[in-house]
Copies of this chain bind each other. A is one copy, B any other.
Amino acid sequence: MSSVDQQLEELKGEIEAELPADISISDVKYEGPELVVYTRHPKKFARNGDLIRKLASKLRKRITVRPDPESLSDPREAKERIREVIPEEAGVTDLDFHADTGEVVIEAAKPGMVIGRHGSTLREITQEVGWTPEVVRTPPIESSTVSNVRNFLKQERDDRRDILERVGRQIHREEMANDQWVRISTLGCCREVGRASFILSTAETRILIDCGDKPGAEGEVPYLQVPEALGSGANSLDAVVLTHAHLDHSALIPLLFKYGYDGPIYTTEPTRDLMGLLTLDYLDVAAKEGRTPPYDSEMVREAIKHTIPLEYGDVTDIAPDVKLTFHNAGHILGSAVSHFHIGDGLYNVAFSGDIHYKDTRLFNGAVNDFPRVETLVLESTYGGRNDYQTDQEDSERKLVEVINETHDKGGKVVIPAFAVGRSQEIMLVLEEAMRSGKIPEMPVHLDGMIWEATAIHTTYPEYLRDDLRDRIFHEDENPFLAPQFNHIDGGEDERQEVTDDGPAIILSTSGMVTGGPIMSWLRHLGSDPDSRLVFVGYQAQGTLGRRIQNGWDEIPINDRDSRNSGRSSTLTLKMDVETVDGFSGHADRQGLEDFVRTMNPRPEKVLCVHGDERSVQDLSSALYHDFNMRTFAPKNLETFRFK
C-alpha cells in the first residue's frame, strides 16, 4: 500500500471514530487540496451541523462531504425539492446533477440566497435531497468567457476529477527530502517590467509563480529553458501559482502544458476566467500579426482544466511542506498577493504580484497583514525616486476637465486601456461623473475585450470593493449596466459611425497601443485636432504608447486591420495627447513605501522586481535606508537562498 493510501485509511478510521454510529463512510479520497468524504448518510451528516467543521479542525484538512453514489435520490425528485427550498428571488437559472460525485451545481442570479445565512439553505438542501450543492453566479452581463469555461469544465468533469485526485495524492505525499532550504530563482521580471516568472523551491517542492510575456519585446520570454526552471522537465514543478491575469504574468502559462506540465495551477476563479480570455486573445493577436503563436488554444483549455481556484484567505496545502494563501492585491479582478508558508514554521515568503495599496473605486487596497513573513518579493513599477502619482481625486478632476474641454470642441476622447482593470475603473468614474452632472451625458464606447472583461467583473462581485459589491448584488444598481455604455461589436462600420457622430468617449484596447482596435481609432481620429488621446495607465518601454507619450507624432500604422490589408503607412498624429496619471492599477512610490511601512509583520528582506532598472534600484535603496531591511534588486537568472 502506498503511503498516501495508508494515510487515507488512517484518516477514514479517525473520521469514523468521530461520527455517530448511524452515519457511515464509504470512501475517503483526496481531490486537490481537499479531503473528500463519501457517506451513505448524507442527510444525517447535513443535519449534524457542526460535524464537518469539527472534523476539519481535528484533522487539519479542508473537508468536503459527498453522498455515496449508491445512496443518491432521484435527480428529478431532487430538482423539485431544491426548487422548493430555494427562494424564488434567488433567480435560479440552471440545475446540473452529477451522479458520479453526488454534486448538484446550482447557477443563480443571487447565489447568496441559495447559500442562506451561514450556509443554512445549502444545508437544508442536503438534508432534503442528499446531494451536495455547489453554487455559481449567473453573470448579470452575459459573458461568453464565463459560460465557455463553465461548459468546458462540465464536459471535462471526469478528466478533471482524475487530475484532482492525482494532484491530491501529490500534495499529501510523504516528505522525501532530508534537507531544508528555501530559495527563489528569478526567471524574468527583474530590472524590467514584463515576463514575470519566479521559482520558489525547497528541498521538497518546486513552485513556479507567474509566467508572463514582455509587452513591447516579443522575443523576451521567461528563462524557462535554464536548468533551475524546466531543465529537468516541466513536470519537475509541483505547482504553478498565478498572481493575476495580466499577460505579463499569464501569457505563457498555457505553454507549460505544451512542455508537458500536468500539475495544478492555483489562482482565483476570476483570474482563471480572465486568463482564458486574455491568452486566447494573445493567440489571436499573434496570428493577426503573422507570428507563430507559442502554443494553441488547446493549451489554454488544458490550463483551465488544471486550475484549482482558491479564495482570498483560504490557507491551502499545495505541497507537503508548503501552504499557499491568497490575499486581495487591489490591482485587477482576482489579483492576489500570494503568501507561502513553508515547512511548518520554517519560513514565509509573500509575492506581491502587482498591487495597488490604496482603495480605488473598483477594489479594496492590497492586504499587507500576514501571520508571518520574512521575505517579500515586491513589484516596483512606480518605485522610482520621482514616481509619485497624482491622487485619484485630482486625476478624476483632470479627466473630467479634459472630457469637458473636448466635448465643448466637439471632439472625442480616446482612452487606450487594458481590457481588465483600468477600463472598469474609468467606467465607474465616467458613470458617476455623468450621473452627478460633472460631464454631459454622452456615449461611452467600449472596444476590444473591455465589454467582455466587464461582464466577468460582474460575475465575481465578491472580488470588488465592498460597497461596489453591495451595489451590484444587493441593490440592483449595477453601474456597469448604465445605458451610456455601448459595446462596439459592429467592427469598422460601427467605428466609422462613431467617428462621424458627435462627442463621445472611447475606451479601447490595447492599453499600451501595441495593437488591437486602438490602432483603428488612431487611424479614424488621430488626425482630428479637436479630439484627445488620453493615457491613463503605465506605458512600458518599447511600446508605441510610451513613444507617443514621449512626443512621437509620426506613427507607423499597419493597415492590415483595415480594408487596405497589408499596407504600412505613417500617420501624423494631430490629436492632443494627454496623460492623466493616478488611475494606475499599480501603487505609486508612496503606495509602495506605505505598503512596506504598514506591513504587519515587517519583512526582513525585500526583493524589488517588476520595474525598470532605475525603479528597482531606487526602491531597493529607499527601503533599505528608511526601514533598515535587507533589500535587493535582483537580476534575472539569479537564485537567492533564504533558509
Report if A228 contacts B (CB, 8 A). yes
Min CB distance, A2 to chain B, in Å? 23
Please state if B231 and A639 are interface contacts (CB–CB under 8 Å).
no
In whole Å, how far is A371's beta carbon from the nearest beta carbon of chain B?
26
Complex contacts, A236 vs chain B, CB 8 Å? 227, 231
Mark each residue of chain A from 198 to 233: 1 if its CB lies under 8 Å from any CB of chain B, else 0: 000000001000000000000000000011110111
Is A152 in the interface zone, CB < 8 Å from B? no
Residues of B within 8 A of A638 (CB): 183, 638-641
Query: Is A637 an interface residue when CB atoms closer than 8 A count as contact?
Result: yes
Whether a CB of chain B sits under 8 angstroms from the CB of A185 is yes
Contact of A370 with B by CB under 8 A = no
Does A636 belong to the interface (CB within 8 Å)? yes
**Chain B hits for A635, CB < 8 A:** 641
Q: Is A181 among interface residues, defined by CB-CB distance under 8 A?
A: yes
Q: Are A228 and B639 in contact (CB under 8 A)?
A: yes
Q: When each residue 56-97 of chain A gets 1 if its CB lies under 8 Å from chain B and 0 otherwise, what string results?
A: 000000000000000000000000000000000000000000
Which A residues between 624 and 643 are near B, CB-CB below 8 angstroms?
A: 635-641
Cα A227 to Cα B235 in complex, Å, equals 12
A637→B181 CA distance, assembly (Å): 9
In the bound assembly, the distance between CA atoms of A95 and B58 in angstroms comes to: 82
In the complex, A641 Cα to B191 Cα: how many Å?
Answer: 13
A640 contacts across to B, CB distance below 8 A: 638
- Residues of A within 8 A of B (CB-CB), count: 19
Q: Report Cα–Cα, A640/B635, bound state, in Å.
A: 9
* Distance in angstroms between the alpha carbons of A228 and B227 in the assembled complex: 5
Instruction: Give A175-193 interface residues, CB cut-off 8 Å to B.
Output: 181, 183, 185
B residues in contact with A181, CB < 8 Å: 637
Chain B nearest Cβ from A187, distance in angstroms: 11
Query: Roughly how many angstroms separate A231 CA and B91 CA in the complex, as a whole number?
Result: 55
Q: In the complex, what's the smallest C-beta–C-beta distance from A251 to chain B, in angstroms?
A: 19
**Nearest Cβ distance between residue A529 and chain B, in whole angstroms?**
45
Contact of A232 among B183, B185, B227, B636 (CB under 8 A): B227
Bound-state Cα–Cα, A236 to B225, Å? 13
Chain B residues with Cβ below 8 Å from A636 are 641
Are B639 and A185 touching (Cβ within 8 A)?
Answer: yes
| Distance of A183 Cα from B229 Cα, bound (Å) | 15
Q: What residues of B have a CB within 8 angstroms of the CB of A231 in the complex?
A: 227-228, 231-232, 236
Given A231-B231, A232-B231, decide whether A637 and B639 contact each other with a Cβ distance below 8 A: yes
Q: Bound complex: CA of A448 vs CA of B635, how far in Å?
A: 49
Residues in A595-643 with C-beta less than 8 Å from chain B = 635-641
A179, closest chain B residue (CB): B223
By a CB distance below 8 angstroms, the chain B residues around A228 are 226-228, 231, 639
Bound Cα distance from A226 to B236, whole angstroms: 11
Interface residues of A in 225-268 (CB under 8 A from B): 226-229, 231-233, 236
**How many angstroms from the CA of A333 to the CA of B622 in the assembled complex?**
50
A231 to B228, CA, bound (A): 8
Contacts of A639 in B (CB 8 A): 185, 228, 637-639
- Closest chain-B Cβ to A235's Cβ sits at a distance in Å of 12
Taken together as a complex, chains A and B put the C-alpha atoms of A183 and B637 apart, in Å, by 8
Instruction: A335 to B397: give the CA distance in the assembly, Å.
Output: 72
Quick one: closest B residue to A185, CB to CB? B639
Residues of B with C-beta under 8 A to A226:
228
Complex-state Cα separation, A591 to B636, whole angstroms: 35
Contacts of A227 in B (CB 8 A): 206, 227-229, 231-232, 236
- A97-137 vs B, CB cutoff 8 Å, 1 = contact: the mask equals 00000000000000000000000000000000000000000
Which single residue of chain B is at the shortest CB-CB distance from A177? B225
- In chain B, what residue has the closest Cβ to A199? B227
Among A233, A640, A641, the most chain B Cβ lie within 10 Å of the Cβ of A641
Alpha-carbon distance A228/B236, docked complex (angstroms): 12
Instruction: Give residues of chain A (501-542) contacting chain B, Cβ–Cβ below 8 Å.
Output: none
A322 CB → nearest B CB, Å: 17
The answer for the CA separation of A231 and B230 in the assembled complex, in Å, is 10
Given the complex, which residues of B lie within 8 Å of A233, measured CB to CB? 232
A638-B640 Cα distance, complex, nearest whole Å: 5
User: A225 CB to closest chain B CB, in angstroms?
Assistant: 9
A70 to chain B, nearest CB (A): 46
Complex Cα gap A233–B639 (Å): 20
Report the minimum CB–CB distance from A190 to chain B (whole Å): 9
CA distance A227 to B641 in the complex (A): 14
CB distance from A230 to the nearest CB of B (A): 9
In the complex formed, the residue of B with least CB distance to A219 is B178
Q: In the complex, how many angstroms separate the beta carbon of A180 from the nearest chain B beta carbon?
A: 11
User: Measured between alpha carbons, how far is A635 from B206 in the docked complex, in Å?
Assistant: 19
Beyond A227-B236, A636-B641, A638-B639, 18 extra complex contacts between A and B, CB < 8 Å: A181-B637, A183-B637, A183-B638, A206-B227, A227-B227, A227-B228, A227-B229, A227-B232, A228-B231, A231-B231, A231-B236, A232-B232, A232-B233, A635-B641, A637-B639, A638-B638, A638-B641, A639-B639
A-B pairs with beta carbons under 8 Å apart, 14 shown? A181-B637, A183-B638, A206-B227, A226-B228, A227-B227, A227-B228, A227-B229, A227-B231, A227-B232, A228-B231, A231-B236, A232-B232, A638-B641, A639-B639
| Those 9 A-B pairs whose CB atoms lie nearest each other, nearest first | A639-B639, A231-B232, A228-B228, A232-B232, A635-B641, A227-B228, A637-B641, A638-B641, A227-B227
